[in-house]
Amino acid sequence: MEINIKTIEDVKVAALVGDVDAKTAPSVTEQVTPLVEPGSKIVLDMTGVPYMSSAGLRSLLSLYRQATAKEGKIVLVGLSEDIQDTMSVTGFLDFFQTSETLEEGLIALA
């Protein structure tokens, strides 16, 4: 699992590369949670994530709850069809705003 974090204007962008599963989800939570601040805008670029387990979904939900509690926003970008299907079936897509590309994600948070 590789996590690259950068800032574009006032948006924190965390690009994830690799599977998000029981082994890697804790490090995702550990590295992305500090980005959640009052009023924060976060893009999770998941273009490089081919697979996400239930542990990964729990990490996303935890991030969502923390961001919402601090009036922040999270946009998921580049979800694979499989991950979108899983999130749709489980109701997770109801919590998140999604975009196809990083550019669209940044516009959604503008």
- Count CA within 13 A, CB hemisphere, residue 37: 7
Q: Which residues constitute the domain of residue 94?
A: 2-109
Q: Are 14 and 32 in contact (CB under 8 A)?
A: yes
Q: What is the 3-state secondary structure (H, E, C) of the chain?
A: CEEEEEEECCEEEEEEECCECCCCHHHHHHHHHHHCCCCCEEEEEEEECCCECHHHHHHHHHHHHHHHHCCCEEEEECCCHHHHHHHHHHCHHHCCEEECCHHHHHHHHC
CATH code of 22's domain: 3.30.750.24
Q: For residue 20, what pLDDT is reported?
A: 97
Q: Are 72 and 43 in contact (CB under 8 A)?
A: no
Per the structure, the count of domains in the chain is: 1
pTM for this prediction: 0.94
Could you read off the pLDDT tens digit of each residue along the chain, which spans 110 residues?
A: 999 999 999 999 999 999 999 999 999 999 999 999 999 999 999 999 999 999 999 999 999 999 999 999 999 999 999 999 999 999 999 999 999 999 999 999 98
